Structure 1
Amino acid sequence: MDSHVALIRQALATLDAQELARLLEPHLAALAELEAEAGQLRSANALLRKENRQQRGNAGTWRDQHTARLAGLQRELHADLQVQLRAPSADQAARDQQELTEQILDQLPIPIFLKDRDGRFLRFNSRFEEFTQRSRAEILGRTIDDFASPRWAAATHVEDEQAWSTGRMVTTERRMATFDPPLDVLVSRKVINSGGLSYMLGYFIDISEQRAARAAMQHAVESAEAASRAKSEFLANMSHEIRTPMNGILGMTELVLESDIDAHQRADLTLVKASADALLQIVDDILDFSKIEAGKLDIEEVPFDLRQLVSDTLRAMSLRARQKGLALASEIPANVPRIMKGDPGRLRQVLLNLVGNAIKFTGAGSVTVQLSIGAEHDGRSEIEFAVRDTGIGVPEEKQHLIFEAFAQVDGSTTRQYGGTGLGLAICRRLVILMQGRIEVHSAPGQGSVFSFTVPLQHTGVAQAAPLPPLAVLTPGQGMNLSANDGGLIVGEGDLPPPSADPQAAPARGGLRVLLAEDNPVNQRLAVRLLEKLGHRVTLVDSGLAVLERAARGAHDVILMDVQMPGLDGLAATRQIRQRESMQGGHVPIIAMTARAMAGDRERCLEAGMDDYLAKPVDSQQLRDMLLRYQPDSGHQLLDWRGALQRLDGDAELLLELAALFLHDGPQLWQELGEALAAGDQPRSTRAVHSLKGVLVNFGAARAVALAEQLSAALHAGQPWQLAAGRLEPALQQVYEALKELIAGGIDAPPPS
């Protein structure tokens, strides 16, 4: 019996005293009664032995009954004790598990909460208390309305209801303004189920650092954009400030070179012009690189003559080659197609840069342009242009650098050759824009081969006729610029004397030109050029003076500088166009400006100008531009002579190109219409750019001007319907003119 009591007391020592005392009190009372009864039994035991042995059996039975009763009570008490002892052990395990869960939640770095369907907070960790800035007593069993601001509580109810109704996780961004500094958090919540009941589990994530980083990134982007705008503005101003005096230098030099001067004076002025051209090339390189970096260059696909492209390039570089005594040649195999579709302007720019570099780095020998045809796929041929020279070469360890911007093979202060380091970088990026590749093979002292390959589309025009073998001229043989043989060869010798240019004859009838120019040198140059071309000039030096003179309506065309004091050329043009919209009439306005940055042309056209000339302007450019606005030829649909000149008088080729455009033009217009209707600005811009490039080949001045107006409207994000509506009938007129050309032959009078 003592052992049972000891067992009970040992159990009591390990369990909650009050709870176990309450549970075991009845059993302990019964046990005390049994202990008292057992004492009485021991006292009476001696008396019982003296009783009649006849009654032993009965006494034994009585004792056995009491013993059995005592044993039964002991067994019952033991069983109850085991039940009671087991019950507190399960509760303790549950409490241990809950304590462990609480400790884990409190160690988590994010606030976590659990709510019931009525929004009462059932569980949460210490981080949640920190975020809400409330104690456990203020949160437990309460709802968000009991301790949060009305605005926060209202937002919480909306998000909770969204999570309860959809069953999906709901995440929102919140700002906790009660902190200093305020905290930005993501609050996520999702409905979970357990034991047949539904709860809402939620947590907070501090995103203050991420939002600060995002704000810093946005600030950096805005700063970069501002820096880019500042750079563009600087380059525009630099271009204007350089081109303005360069316009005077080059223009006056050309005028003097065309006068009666001796050989020494001509040689000196030729060097002056070459130096001015070199300076202008540096400016153009910087501007071109800026345009490429800004992503403001479009690639067009128009038919062009590959052989003519190479010939024009070498003609442009012939003077530099002659000055160094270099042979300049081209090699074009007969299997290379003559007419292809691509971007001739960009191809010519790359070729000019590579040929110019080859001439610069070659002291003696030759520079040769070679064409070859490569793989064909999807109706395109890979055409490789290779420029081979006998110059100084490029070390192998430097070859990977030369296509990077501002890189120089020799960047020291003692380097022999100058340059900006942008030419090859521009070439590389232009070739990539045309879906091509560029590379170099070179060794010091053994010359270099710069080659680039671009995929050009077939047009169906016949292959070039077989070409005679190329004969390389020796120094002193003079210059052969014939476009009928296999290549252009430039040898050493004196420059030929200037000959009378039939195209430089005074314009028939002349134009009444209103010239707006504020720079004295450019005023004198422009007046001299215009008068030489047979035009009558009225000179003004401000935008306000332009408005006053234009109001009199006595001029055929206005040449408008953009940057002028008081009222600039763009504002003056807008006011003229506004006045014309109310009073009727339309005077052609041509921008003649030193602003030649990306977008400057579009801004001029957007303002209402009809055309654009970038300074420095030479007499040929000015003459060609003004021919479009001659009273007796301003309505001419096509410029046959100009088209033939661009093809070296190849009438058959011009007819083939005309037939090609009659087939491709309507398809291109349909593509443009679909892009415009779909609101696809990039596709629309590419289509009108390609269309304009084809029209230029035929000298279709009116259609070109309308295409430029449509392009300007697209770039400016303005309504395009009016410009497109004007362009469509102009295209129909071009188609009719081309049909007349094909039917009547090249000698037929030009349609009007």
Structure 2
Amino acid sequence: MENTKILLLDDREENLISLRAILNRDDIEIFATTSPNEALRLVWENEIAVALVDVQMPGMDGFEFAETLFSNPKTREILVVFVTAISKETTYAVRGLKTGAIDYLYKPLDPYITNAKVDSLIRLARSQKEIREKNRLLENYATIVINSPDMIATVEPETGKIASINPSIQTILGLSPANVTGGTILDLLVDPLNSELREVLVKRTYASGDTIVVEDRFFGRLRQPVWLELRIMYRNRLLFVNLHDIEKRKAHERALMDAQAQAEKARKVKEAFLANMSHEIRTPLNGIIGLGNLLSATELSQSQRDLLEMLQQSSGSLLNILNDILDISKIDEGKFSIIPASTDLRSLGKGIVDLMKFKADEKRLEIRLDIDPKIPGSILVDGMRLTQILLNLVGNALKFTHEGNIQVKFEYVSEVQQGHKIKFHVNDTGIGMSSEQIANIFSEYGQATENTSRQYGGTGLGLTISQKLTRLMGGELEVNSRLNGGSQFFFTLVLQESQEKANDNRTPIAFQDLPTFEGQRVLVAEDNPVNALLLKKYLRTWGLVATLVENGKDAVDVLREQQFDLIILDTRMPEMDGFQTARYARQELAVTTPILSLSATVLPEEVRQAFESGMNDALSKPFEPEKLHNKINHLLSLNA
């Protein structure tokens, strides 16, 4: 049997090498390329049956490539399977299927699943090729192929009466040709009044001369419905109909739809869990951090300030862990955005080293920063996410290094067409890792060894989130290490030089030193007593007259009697939550006062819900007092 020709298209050569290794079989002839344009030439010159196409590629992505194939009669029959590492979100699957693709493969590829799907695709491709050959015979007024595995019939156009049908009807539907000949083909349908075939006959769409393809359900053995694909061609005043059993394909489609429904249900459950978890942890955490801010504004002994510093460090660590969990979830669902801005890499690097120096001093380690002078002064990069990556790497280096030094190095590699290639290093002289340990460190919740978490602490999320963020920025986090020989983590990014001056980092202003809003009236609805106490303290320090209530229902009662310059609503409260309160105030009480949402979750859906309910702005807990002050200042200006 002739080998099946398969096209592999991926812009990364290493992915093509991996796919070749998985599909190394005698019955397959592989054509591989990293260029979509080269791939189009290959499919034009070769009879490609199956194309495994990467989704994300520069220039022409996988969806556009597939659309190009299906727009050309010569290549539209190629079976396209998308290979992706983006997300299993329903939006991507539906978009791919709408382009004409029949399935997805998700990276990292499982060799067994990949080979099983390729086997299925080869069988499907061969089956479709057989059908196409039979249709060509029909187009050339060939005689009905008696031994065809498909049902082949001639039908009178006006009446739908079956003039002839081959013996395959016995195999597929359990009926003899003699019993159905002379009857109408509509009599074999499960729902003839609502069938596509009936539409073809009634509207005479077959008269155009084109091959018409419809799918319909027929009664099979024991009156069980069977899905058949009908290819209908009008020749010599007869309809030539090829009926192919697609029950297995339909079962696969149903299974895929069920899987998509289950995935959507799981996504909503996960989203609800994350929202609840975020709320339940961030609410008390906001109280802890806020009380620390209030304590820092009082007179304290040195020992008390030391304890307060440890309290703030611990709450900050807990917040970082929570943010890592939520960031991973958003990246996996494709809801995470990288936002480049003008950034001074020298200031960024200095800020990281200054922040981690106290920890290095505690362990009597040297931490130094080396920045290549060739690096431009202002670079377009998401500075917050780059900082997050480097802080994770430096934190790990400090954790696993007991003597020696930590080096943070920014190396200018070269100038390229897209910008400047810059390599970021974090090197240490710590305990290092074996090759077996390295294999596990980038997996979610993975640790180098089972004892690592017990001995050194940590969740195993830091390197996972760093790797995911690096990939979103166009790089790949790599590591060189050996046991007792230190570790070198590094990644390379191609970044553009910015014409704007980078924003300088500045020290946050203490809440008691912020400008006041004398005499402005604020209504606050907050059910958590600690958070209510914090808000009351902040607002009164800033000269605001605050009225506090415990839930949305009480807030509505107060709004019926009094007017305010600003309303602050917690989103999750008993009896009436913040969204319901805002909606009621806008629609029933016609309140136009600016409303600020305070939420203990950071999910974008909750921010969107806040705006849809009539709120003007949103702030997530735990918040810095200065950010709350800025929000209040902005919203009060709306009254001017």
Instruction: Report Cα offsets for 1:586-609 as digits up to 9, x if no partner.
Output: 433222221122433333233333
Q: 1:116 to 1:529 in 2, by over 3 A?
A: closer
Given the alignment of the two structures, is residue 176 of structure 1 paired with residue 218 of structure 2, yes or no?
A: yes
Structure 2 Cα separation of the partners of residues 299 and 359 of structure 1: 27
The equivalent of 1:519 in structure 2 is: 528
Q: Which has the higher helix share?
A: 1
Structure 1 Cα separation of the partners of residues 191 and 509 of structure 2: 87
For residues 16-55 of structure 1, the aligned pairs below 5 Å read none
Larger radius of gyration: 1
Given the alignment of the two structures, is residue 216 of structure 1 paired with residue 255 of structure 2, yes or no?
A: yes
The equivalent of 2:209 in structure 1 is: 167
For residues 320-359 of structure 1, the aligned pairs below 5 Å read 320-359=359-398
Q: 1:149 to 1:524 in 2, by over 3 A?
A: closer
Q: Is the 8 A contact 1:337 1:462 kept in 2?
A: no
The equivalent of 2:53 in structure 1 is: none
The equivalent of 1:605 in structure 2 is: 611
**Share of identical aligned residues, percent?**
33
For residues 665-676 of structure 1, the aligned pairs below 5 Å read none
The equivalent of 1:458 in structure 2 is: 497
Query: Equivalent residue of 1:407, what SS?
Result: coil
Given the alignment of the two structures, is residue 535 of structure 1 paired with residue 544 of structure 2, yes or no?
A: yes
Where structure 2 has 5 or more consecutive residues not aligned to the other structure, the ranges are 1-141
Q: 1:572 to 1:182 in 2, by over 3 A?
A: same
Structure 1 Cα separation of the partners of residues 369 and 421 of structure 2: 18
Structure 2 Cα separation of the partners of residues 559 and 461 of structure 1: 36
The equivalent of 1:113 in structure 2 is: 153
Shift in Å at residue 134 of structure 1?
5.9
* Residue number among 271, 278, 281 corresponding to 2:310 in the alignment: 271
The equivalent of 2:165 in structure 1 is: 124
Where structure 1 has 5 or more consecutive residues not aligned to the other structure, the ranges are 1-100, 465-481, 485-498, 636-752
For residues 370-449 of structure 1, the aligned pairs below 5 Å read 370-378=409-417, 380-412=419-451, 415-449=454-488
Structure 1 Cα separation of the partners of residues 151 and 628 of structure 2: 75
Q: Is the 8 A contact 2:412 2:423 kept in 1?
A: yes
The equivalent of 1:544 in structure 2 is: 553
Instruction: Report Cα offsets for 1:682-722 as digits up to 9, x if no partner.
Output: xxxxxxxxxxxxxxxxxxxxxxxxxxxxxxxxxxxxxxxxx
Query: Equivalent residue of 2:450, what SS?
Result: coil
The equivalent of 2:93 in structure 1 is: none
Shift in Å at residue 411 of structure 1?
2.6
Instruction: Report Cα offsets for 1:314-363 as digits up to 9, x if no partner.
Output: 34434444443443332223221111222222222222222222222223
Q: 1:121 to 1:436 in 2, by over 3 A?
A: same
Structure 1 Cα separation of the partners of residues 585 and 318 of structure 2: 36
Q: Which has the higher strand share?
A: 2
CA RMSD of aligned residues (A): 3.7
Q: 1:221 to 1:361 in 2, by over 3 A?
A: same
Shift in Å at residue 285 of structure 1?
0.9
Shift in Å at residue 234 of structure 1?
0.5
Tell me which amino acid in the other structure corresponds to 2:192.
R
Q: Is the 8 A contact 1:138 1:147 kept in 2?
A: no
Instruction: Report Cα offsets for 1:649-677 as digits up to 9, x if no partner.
Output: xxxxxxxxxxxxxxxxxxxxxxxxxxxxx
The equivalent of 1:44 in structure 2 is: none
For residues 222-233 of structure 1, the aligned pairs below 5 Å read 222-233=261-272
For residues 633-652 of structure 1, the aligned pairs below 5 Å read none
Instruction: Report Cα offsets for 1:556-604 as digits up to 9, x if no partner.
Output: 3222211011111122222333368x57xx4332222211224333332
Given the alignment of the two structures, is residue 505 of structure 1 paired with residue 513 of structure 2, yes or no?
A: yes
Structure 2 Cα separation of the partners of residues 270 and 249 of structure 1: 12
Q: Is the 8 A contact 2:342 2:502 kept in 1?
A: no
Instruction: Report Cα offsets for 1:513-548 as digits up to 9, x if no partner.
Output: 322210112222222233334433221111122233
Q: 1:206 to 1:442 in 2, by over 3 A?
A: same
TM-score (norm 1): 0.59
The equivalent of 1:557 in structure 2 is: 566
Q: Is the 8 A contact 2:197 2:214 kept in 1?
A: no
Query: Equivalent residue of 1:373, what SS?
Result: strand
Structure 1 Cα separation of the partners of residues 189 and 373 of structure 2: 85
Query: Equivalent residue of 1:335, what SS?
Result: coil
Query: Equivalent residue of 1:330, what SS?
Result: strand
Q: Is the 8 A contact 1:163 1:169 kept in 2?
A: no
Q: Is the 8 A contact 1:431 1:438 kept in 2?
A: yes
Instruction: Report Cα offsets for 1:257-311 as digits up to 9, x if no partner.
Output: 4433333333333323322222222111111111111111122232222222223
Structure 2 Cα separation of the partners of residues 302 and 103 of structure 1: 68
Query: Equivalent residue of 1:416, what SS?
Result: helix
Q: Is the 8 A contact 1:562 1:569 kept in 2?
A: yes
Structure 2 Cα separation of the partners of residues 625 and 319 of structure 1: 32
Query: Equivalent residue of 1:441, what SS?
Result: strand
Tell me which amino acid in the other structure corresponds to 1:539.
L
Q: Is the 8 A contact 2:479 2:489 kept in 1?
A: yes
Tell me which amino acid in the other structure corresponds to 1:185.
L
Instruction: Report Cα offsets for 1:90-114 as digits up to 9, x if no partner.
Output: xxxxxxxxxxx99983x54332223
Given the alignment of the two structures, is residue 593 of structure 1 paired with residue 599 of structure 2, yes or no?
A: yes
Q: 1:255 to 1:325 in 2, by over 3 A?
A: farther
Q: 1:190 to 1:555 in 2, by over 3 A?
A: same
Tell me which amino acid in the other structure corresponds to 1:614.
S
Query: Equivalent residue of 1:284, what SS?
Result: helix
The equivalent of 1:298 in structure 2 is: 337
Q: 1:148 to 1:594 in 2, by over 3 A?
A: closer
Q: 1:103 to 1:513 in 2, by over 3 A?
A: closer
Query: Equivalent residue of 2:223, what SS?
Result: coil
Query: Equivalent residue of 1:437, what SS?
Result: coil
Q: 1:364 to 1:273 in 2, by over 3 A?
A: farther
Shift in Å at residue 509 of structure 1?
4.1
Tell me which amino acid in the other structure corresponds to 2:213.
T
The equivalent of 2:100 in structure 1 is: none
TM-score (norm 2): 0.68
Query: Equivalent residue of 1:369, what SS?
Result: strand
Tell me which amino acid in the other structure corresponds to 2:200.
E
Instruction: Report Cα offsets for 1:354-408 as digits up to 9, x if no partner.
Output: 2222222223343332212223234521222222223222322332332222221
Instruction: Report Cα offsets for 1:28-74 as digits up to 9, x if no partner.
Output: xxxxxxxxxxxxxxxxxxxxxxxxxxxxxxxxxxxxxxxxxxxxxxx
Query: Equivalent residue of 1:599, what SS?
Result: helix
Q: Is the 8 A contact 2:393 2:426 kept in 1?
A: yes
Instruction: Report Cα offsets for 1:618-654 as digits up to 9, x if no partner.
Output: 43433344344566x998xxxxxxxxxxxxxxxxxxx
Q: Is the 8 A contact 1:513 1:538 kept in 2?
A: yes
Query: Equivalent residue of 1:404, what SS?
Result: coil
Structure 1 Cα separation of the partners of residues 253 and 214 of structure 2: 17
The equivalent of 1:735 in structure 2 is: none
Structure 2 Cα separation of the partners of residues 372 and 249 of structure 1: 40
Greater relative contact order: 1 or 2 (C-alpha under 8 angstroms, separation 6 or more)?
1
Q: Is the 8 A contact 1:305 1:340 kept in 2?
A: yes
Tell me which amino acid in the other structure corresponds to 1:339.
S
Q: Is the 8 A contact 1:336 1:463 kept in 2?
A: no
Query: Equivalent residue of 1:596, what SS?
Result: coil
